[in-house]
Structure 1
């Protein structure tokens, strides 16, 4: 797994014409939120030229939030120019499936982080390719996020936590220090994983649930304390 410091993706101020092109895969509500995230990044430092949206399910209108619908994943794979891609799919399994279909060597997947989120080298936060970190998230120190991790609005991640590839945190989910989330874990809105707890691969922790002890793989856990159902 390739992991990069957030600062590795800092781009010097550039004119609009010089900004690298970026497209969003996922033309639904999260796609529009990711567009807003990119616009917020550009307001602070012009960074990306957003071309439009791709989705295997065509939207009802030819434009989404004022940008064109450009086609399917197969159309995106046919690109002849380098393109940055943001995969805006909320489901962990769905996001992994989309990434598996994006096979063109022309495609790259930079992490996108809201400019209000503090990420400095001294925090020692490692981000994998394709991570999306939305407004009001708080990450402390010595944290590792794998590839295509999604932190939605207002999430917190504590010291020494590890979130593996394709983990998804919905708004205001909380991961305490030294917790371990295996690949594909999904935390619902306001879910919490207590310090040191490990959550198994592809497990769903329901909205408002609190994981106070380790959870196995491939279950759905709800309640306080969270129990597999």
Structure 2
């Protein structure tokens, strides 16, 4: 059996980057898998070490890597995450799916996850859930049956997605927000913390409140 750990770097040296570092440690505690090499970020941190791991340079420097390297994009802002992923063109870079050992979810239930997806502690995904590329489910999110969550979405802690929901590309779900059964949320829409979405939302809007109402439309 091959027990060699795979080298992985974290893109994003802020708070979410440190949380992803914690996630990797927790995965390793259950099944030793990752050799964490350090952090990349366009903004150099105040100190060259982040939680004991080195700052290795700006994001574009990853395109010069001459060996296989796994990369976790730890960026919550959906547009920024999209832009960073578009810049990483090196074919030697791989984007693993990272799932905390506590997550309740089974592939045999028809669940599908795109590359680079990160699923944090205590999330629950039921059946026939589809997550796109580079989706973040932060702590204790729940996703119901037949939900589809598009590429580059970021759902913050305790977001509840009901069954048959359709979420477009780059949607940001604020902490403790809820999207009710059968609702559709357009691309790059922002849902405020604690909001309850009970009807469809268009692309590029911001919606807050209970029930959620649109307070800003940017396209």
- Aligned-partner SS, 1:68: strand
How far residue 122 of structure 1 moved from its aligned partner, in angstroms, is 2.4
> What's the counterpart of residue 123 of structure 1?
109
- 1:76-131 deviation line (CA, Å, top 9, x unaligned): 11101100000000111111011111111110101100011123232211000000
1:46 equivalent to 2:35? Answer no
> What's the counterpart of residue 86 of structure 1?
72
1:160 equivalent to 2:166? Answer no
1:13, 1:47 within 8 Å by CA — same for their partners in 2? no
TM-score, with length taken from structure 1: 0.92
Aligned length: 215
- 1:118-160 deviation line (CA, Å, top 9, x unaligned): 2323221100000000001000000000000000001000000
Q: Which runs of 4+ in 1 moved over 3 A?
A: none
- Aligned-partner SS, 1:23: strand
1:13, 1:46 within 8 Å by CA — same for their partners in 2? no
Residue segments in structure 2 that go unaligned for 5+ positions in a row = none
User: In structure 2, which of residues 51, 54, 58 is the aligned counterpart of residue 68 of structure 1?
Assistant: 54
TM-score, with length taken from structure 2: 0.96
> What's the counterpart of residue 19 of structure 2?
33
Aligned Cα root-mean-square deviation (Å): 0.9
Residue segments in structure 1 that go unaligned for 5+ positions in a row = 1-11
The 2-side partners of 1:83 and 1:149 are apart by 20
